[in-house]
Structure 1
Amino acid sequence: MRISPPKNRGLWWHFVSLVFVIVVSFLLVMAILAYLYIRLGNDAMQHRNPFPPVLTIILFSLVIGTTITVTVGRKILAPIADLIKAAKEVSKGNFEIHLDESHRVDEISDAAHHFNIMVQELRSIETLRNDFVVNVSHEFKTPIAAIEGYATLLQDDSLSKEEHDEYTGMIIDSARQLSALSGNILKISKLENQELLTEQTEYRLDEQLRQALLLLESAWEPKQLNLNIELDELHYYGNEELMMQVWLNVLGNAIKFTPEGGEISVSLRPDGPWISAVIADTGIGMTPKVRKHIFEKFYQGDPARSAEGNGLGLPLVARIISLSGGTIEVSSEPGVGSAFTIKLPGPVSAK
């Protein structure tokens, strides 16, 4: 964690001090001149032209003032020159720049501090972008290679009908996986560049959850899962289409990782100014390491199940919940199951 630099003297104070020093220096010299004039008396000075000494003193004061100005100004402007050079390096893509934050002027110190934070954030974004490109390339490569491989096998005229149907099914599954991956990438890219939700309406949130369960019936019915449903009648104001993506992803994961004969619980109820939805299962659960990374793009806790997903479902869920002003938390233990708690802001209207 970065510590803010200490507050020191401001730029305005330094310039005021500079002018003050120049004025005091000039007045001091003039005071010495006046003292000598009075000390020596008018008689000693009457045969001399008074203007040359005065001009000499003025010029001498200007030299002193200029010297002080240049010295102090150089110290003040040097960090600004460094900031300009650093900005040029960042514009060229060099994110390893770090400015000294220990300047005595607090405005310059703050500027360096926030510049370093900006560069650090840009460096993180660049790293994420590179990782994203690598992951996308890898994820696309797998289904494309499968399609190419099985299509090549289909060129063999000696294949039996069973083999032909098997290879055709593999191609279809890989194509669907590729389509889902492309769709999720487009969705999450759009949402990451979006700060506000649009197309919000008021609708029945409990009815939406029931619709999501019906849409997933083909997944949970063959596994003979027990459904424990407790849904209060609640009205919610939000983006209906995006929120359906949340329920389909979370419920889909619960169904996927719950063995036959297991149980899935879904509850929805008001919780003060929030709407609280809890989706729990009695599935395989997660280790603390997996639980820590499940909302990261392309992360898959079980590599053996990578063909069943692309690691974008939960990051997509987290982004939608964040844009909706809500929160999502998960509790899980290996062999016990997982529980996702989603809280959405009101207003809540219970009928």
Structure 2
Amino acid sequence: MNIKGILRSTAAKFIAFAGIVGCFAAAVIIGENAIAGCGRDGMIYQFETDFSQSSYMAGQVNNTAVTLEAALEGGISRQEFEQQTRDFPGSYYGVMNGTVISNAELNDSATQNAAFYLIARPDDATQSNISWYYMPFDDGPIDEYNVRSTTYPLGTVIRVCVTSEQAAQYQEIWSAQKNTFAHTIYIVLTLTAAALALFVYLLFVTGRRPEDEEVHFATIDRLPVEVNVVLFWSVLGTAAGLNIALMSELLSGSGDLSFLLLPSILFFVAAFAFALELTLLLVRLLKAGSLARRSWCIRAFRWSFNKIGVLCTGTWHGLGRLRLAFTKAILGNYKTRNVVLLFTAYSVVLAFLAAAFAGVGGSFFAFVLGVGWFLAAGYFLIRRIDGFDRIVAALQKMRGGDLSFRLTDMPEGVFAAMAEDLGSLGDGMQAALQNEVRAERMKSELITNVSHDLKTPLTSILSYSDLLSQLELTPEEANDYAKIIHQKSLRLKNLTSDLFDISKVQSGVEQMVCERLDAVTLVRQALAEQEAQNSGLVLKVTLPERELPIWADGRKMSRVLENLIGNCVKYAMKGTRVFVSLDERDGKAVFEVKNTANYEMDFAADEITERFVRGDAARSTEGSGLGLAIAKSYTEACGGMFEVEVDGDQFKVRISFPVYGL
């Protein structure tokens, strides 16, 4: 079975589904155990960044101050006050009408030096370093003249504080709970990421089977969409509500309900699994294009729409075309549909998280954040879908042969890089096509030249051999014919030998026997063997006085220099100067030979080194067209560089080798 078959198999889908439910269950169990564990000591840590901002301690100070005000005003008895504040860890002092209620002698200075404090007076001259929720001396009714009817005697004051020493045990609990929650959050986030990855996988493979591309339904898929939605929110909402209510009771410590924690979690996980299957049901309907048929609301809307369309025929056709265009744009191909599915799933998850954490910072802020993020993600996806469609269109144009097509104004990021790569691909394909055309032309010319060069001497040999066998010739005539046959045979032999040599070296069969050579000695020997001094040319030779060692095959390099200098002797214009030089440049031994041609050079420098290519296309009696090709092949096989330059009638060849021993 291939990879697609494995990914679409029932076992793989079941494992992914179980993995999502398992990750959710683990996250809920770990999270609720952490909350329940902290609830035993009271939820002192409430996601503050520092203990000095503790809402728990602020509430302790504030509640004590309000209770103290009620005791001073006579709203509760002193015994009841002491009962309500028996767990308060700090100090308090209150005085009104000579009545003093306190557990310590406090003045303003001592109170303000505490870690958490509140000082309240009826004249609203309140001092505090905590976030408090209800202010003492601030609840009297206001009359029609905007004057508070309750009056307090002079000297009334409430001082409440908790010192660092008194808050030490709470700070220790706060730190422990913070560490517990931080560790729990990391684990829950990891499990959530794994569940989301598996969920995305299920979005793609749900409803698919290995054997075909059809969308297959399950029995539950016959549910109407509205029933699906109602079941989803009712089951999941009920389970979540019961779970949250139970956790609130456990945190409040009003009763020992911990035995209900496990059943509550199991019910919540089962509800989540059912809701997940309902979500995948909607995805399968969307993939099959059956969502509208299974939705009562959409069918009712269509029915109403059709009835209205009967009354407005012209408008109906226009709206119908608009509807078809929209459907084709959004759900016309599987790539766009998958993007829409991912976007929808992402939006659902975002809405769920916003609803779950609406209490942190306010529901309105969560709603605004969700809407803004939804719009930004929608714009991002539209841009990416457009970029994807343009990439597909560009590929179709290139497949049709338009290799010069270029994409511009692409979205930044991966699509801009893909557009640039497509442009480079088009350039590369154009270059490859040109090289292929050039190679075909060179191949055709090669076959033509080989046939011509082999045919010419063979024709001469056959003709003169026939004359020798048929005519009664004098010895002098017979000798002349035999000499011509011998010359043509030698030319045929040299041509065959050259062709054999270049075929071996270009195929990699030729063995190079490299050794240390003196380039100066090689050039001098080549000049002497070619007798260039007696060819009617003026030689200008520049050679270094010292040895210039290179690493190469001596026999092959002698052949290279022989071919180059031989070309000068044969094809340079008589009476002109031929420049031969050898020197060291940047750690390389550079040999150059330059001459003035006796024919018009109308060829490209990179073509003259191809096999059977002659500088003078009209020349057919001399040379094989292999000399420069052999020279270049031998040079490169020995590790050197071979370059040809053409400038008007000037022909230059440059050979360079690294100086050996540097």
TM-score range, shorter chain: 0.5 to 0.7
Match of 1:72 in 2: 335
> Structure 2 counterpart of 1:235, which letter?
P
Q: Is the 8 A contact 1:270 1:348 kept in 2?
A: no
Gaps of 5+ in 1: 1-15, 43-49, 84-95
Pairing 1:150-169 to 2, within 5 Å after superposition: 150-169=464-483
Match of 2:656 in 1: 344
Asked whether 1:37 is paired with 2:234, we answer yes
Quick one: structure 1 residues 142 and 31, their matched pair in 2 at CA, closer, same or farther if it must change by over 3 Å? Answer: same
Asked whether 1:325 is paired with 2:647, we answer no
Moved more, 222-231 or 53-62: 53-62
The offset of 1:99, in angstroms, is: 9.7
Return the alpha-carbon distance in structure 2 between the equivalents of residues 276 and 321 of structure 1: 12
Match of 2:284 in 1: 62
> Structure 2 counterpart of 1:176, which letter?
L
Pairing 1:187-202 to 2, within 5 Å after superposition: 187-194=501-508, 198-202=512-516
Quick one: structure 1 residues 59 and 254, their matched pair in 2 at CA, closer, same or farther if it must change by over 3 Å? Answer: same
Quick one: structure 1 residues 210 and 39, their matched pair in 2 at CA, closer, same or farther if it must change by over 3 Å? Answer: closer
Return the alpha-carbon distance in structure 2 between the equivalents of residues 241 and 343 of structure 1: 16
Match of 2:200 in 1: 19
Quick one: structure 1 residues 155 and 21, their matched pair in 2 at CA, closer, same or farther if it must change by over 3 Å? Answer: same
Q: Is the 8 A contact 1:262 1:283 kept in 2?
A: no
Q: Over alpha carbons, which structure has the higher Rg?
A: 2
Match of 1:231 in 2: 543
Identity %: 21
Q: Is the 8 A contact 1:287 1:333 kept in 2?
A: yes
Determine helix, strand or coil for the equivalent of 2:620. Answer: helix
Quick one: structure 1 residues 286 and 21, their matched pair in 2 at CA, closer, same or farther if it must change by over 3 Å? Answer: farther
The offset of 1:115, in angstroms, is: 9.6
Return the alpha-carbon distance in structure 2 between the equivalents of residues 118 and 282 of structure 1: 33
> Structure 1 counterpart of 2:659, which letter?
P
Q: Is the 8 A contact 1:197 1:239 kept in 2?
A: no
The offset of 1:240, in angstroms, is: 1.9
Return the alpha-carbon distance in structure 2 between the equivalents of residues 281 and 171 of structure 1: 33
Quick one: structure 1 residues 73 and 151, their matched pair in 2 at CA, closer, same or farther if it must change by over 3 Å? Answer: farther
Give the length in aligned residue pairs.
Answer: 303
> Structure 1 counterpart of 2:641, which letter?
G
Return the alpha-carbon distance in structure 2 between the equivalents of residues 310 and 129 of structure 1: 16
Determine helix, strand or coil for the equivalent of 2:501. Answer: helix
Match of 1:9 in 2: none
> Structure 2 counterpart of 1:275, which letter?
A
Match of 1:141 in 2: 455
Match of 2:43 in 1: none
Quick one: structure 1 residues 203 and 142, their matched pair in 2 at CA, closer, same or farther if it must change by over 3 Å? Answer: same
Quick one: structure 1 residues 148 and 238, their matched pair in 2 at CA, closer, same or farther if it must change by over 3 Å? Answer: same
Question: Match for 1:313 among 617, 627, 630?
Answer: 627
Asked whether 1:242 is paired with 2:423, we answer no
Quick one: structure 1 residues 117 and 260, their matched pair in 2 at CA, closer, same or farther if it must change by over 3 Å? Answer: closer
Quick one: structure 1 residues 114 and 261, their matched pair in 2 at CA, closer, same or farther if it must change by over 3 Å? Answer: closer
Return the alpha-carbon distance in structure 1 between the equivalents of residues 623 and 402 of structure 2: 44
Gaps of 5+ in 2: 1-196, 208-224, 240-270, 290-330, 339-387, 408-414
Quick one: structure 1 residues 109 and 58, their matched pair in 2 at CA, closer, same or farther if it must change by over 3 Å? Answer: same
Determine helix, strand or coil for the equivalent of 2:470. Answer: coil
Quick one: structure 1 residues 202 and 331, their matched pair in 2 at CA, closer, same or farther if it must change by over 3 Å? Answer: same
Q: Is the 8 A contact 1:274 1:343 kept in 2?
A: no
Q: Is the 8 A contact 1:234 1:349 kept in 2?
A: no
Quick one: structure 1 residues 39 and 345, their matched pair in 2 at CA, closer, same or farther if it must change by over 3 Å? Answer: closer
Quick one: structure 1 residues 273 and 63, their matched pair in 2 at CA, closer, same or farther if it must change by over 3 Å? Answer: farther
Match of 1:175 in 2: 489
Quick one: structure 1 residues 21 and 228, their matched pair in 2 at CA, closer, same or farther if it must change by over 3 Å? Answer: same
Quick one: structure 1 residues 277 and 153, their matched pair in 2 at CA, closer, same or farther if it must change by over 3 Å? Answer: same
The offset of 1:313, in angstroms, is: 0.8
Q: Return the TM-score normalized by structure 2.
A: 0.38
Q: Which has the higher contact order (CA 8 A, sep 6+)?
A: 1
Match of 1:215 in 2: 529
Q: Is the 8 A contact 1:328 1:341 kept in 2?
A: yes
Quick one: structure 1 residues 72 and 152, their matched pair in 2 at CA, closer, same or farther if it must change by over 3 Å? Answer: same
The offset of 1:202, in angstroms, is: 0.9
Return the alpha-carbon distance in structure 2 between the equivalents of residues 244 and 33 of structure 1: 93
Return the alpha-carbon distance in structure 1 between the equivalents of residues 533 and 336 of structure 2: 78
Match of 1:204 in 2: 518
Quick one: structure 1 residues 238 and 56, their matched pair in 2 at CA, closer, same or farther if it must change by over 3 Å? Answer: same
Return the alpha-carbon distance in structure 1 between the equivalents of residues 588 and 233 of structure 2: 84
> Structure 1 counterpart of 2:565, which letter?
L
Return the alpha-carbon distance in structure 2 between the equivalents of residues 305 and 171 of structure 1: 21
Return the alpha-carbon distance in structure 2 between the equivalents of residues 213 and 117 of structure 1: 45
Q: Return the TM-score normalized by structure 1.
A: 0.65
> Structure 2 counterpart of 1:345, which letter?
F
Match of 1:276 in 2: 590
The offset of 1:253, in angstroms, is: 0.8
Determine helix, strand or coil for the equivalent of 1:201. Answer: strand
The offset of 1:141, in angstroms, is: 1.3
Return the alpha-carbon distance in structure 1 between the equivalents of residues 406 and 226 of structure 2: 36
